[in-house]
Amino acid sequence: MRKVIVNEFVSLDGVAQAPGGEEEDTSGGFAHGGWSMQYMDEPAMTTVLGSINEAGAFLLGRRTYELFASYWPNAPEEEQVIAEPINTKPKHVASRTLENPLQWQNSAVLDGDVADAVAALKQEQGGDIHVIGSLDLLRTLLERDLVDEFRLMVDPVSLGGGKRLFPEDGTMRPLRLVDSQVTTTGAILATYARAES
């Protein structure tokens, strides 16, 4: 069975909103867009690239899909090492407003209930399904217990507000540490899997 692996940048106070760019997601008045990039050193970049190359497919929410689709097909030459796998691998999009066919190559909107569609994808043959960004989608996946692994870059910064990685829903989700590494910038690269119950 394929795993759903969540890849996120997160602050010490649990915020995962807009780590990559100033205008990435300003909803709720969030003013710290791009906060994670200052912590991206060579070990972090190697980990991020390794995860992208390892992915069998990507699972994206609508906003993340639109952000990526507007950038990666026309990424500059020096970013092709990331752009090529993102552009060519299958991308499954959770959206109530987008319709097939999507313009970005190898992209398709999931049919029907998102959680049911993801559960079906997990049963298919192929490499693991990687979620990037897509915090609203992540909430749905967590509610339906569809996440198998988290790969987090925990940055040494507190943002004081913004969209959090985990919902404040009163649910305890035990995890076990699989791997960890401290970067030269003080960020922690940590992989967590669901704890055996």
Q: How confident is the model at residue 92 (pLDDT cuts 50, 70, 90)?
A: very high
Rounded distance between C-alpha atoms, residue 135 and residue 131, angstroms:
9
Number of Cβ within 10 Å of residue 64's Cβ equals: 23
- Who's near 57: CB < 8 A, 6+ residues apart? 89, 90, 91, 92, 121, 126, 127, 129, 130
Rounded distance between C-alpha atoms, residue 134 and residue 192, angstroms:
18
Q: 81 with 48: CB under 8 angstroms?
A: no
CA 157 to chain centre: 19
Q: Is the peptide bond before 101 cis (omega within 30 degrees of 0)?
A: yes
Q: 12 with 152: CB under 8 angstroms?
A: no
- Go through 71-82 and write b for each residue having 16 or more CB atoms within 10 A of its CB, e for each that does not: ebeebeeeeeeb
Strands (E), 45-187: 57-61, 91-94, 107-109, 129-132, 149-155, 175-182
Q: How confident is the model at residue 196 (pLDDT cuts 50, 70, 90)?
A: confident
Would you state the pLDDT for residue 8? 98
Q: What is the pLDDT of residues 33-56, one digit of tens each?
A: 999 999 999 999 999 999 999 999
Q: How confident is the model at residue 197 (pLDDT cuts 50, 70, 90)?
A: low
Q: What is the pLDDT of residues 164-178, one digit of tens each?
A: 999 999 999 999 999
For the chain, give the percent of residues with pLDDT over 70.
Answer: 99
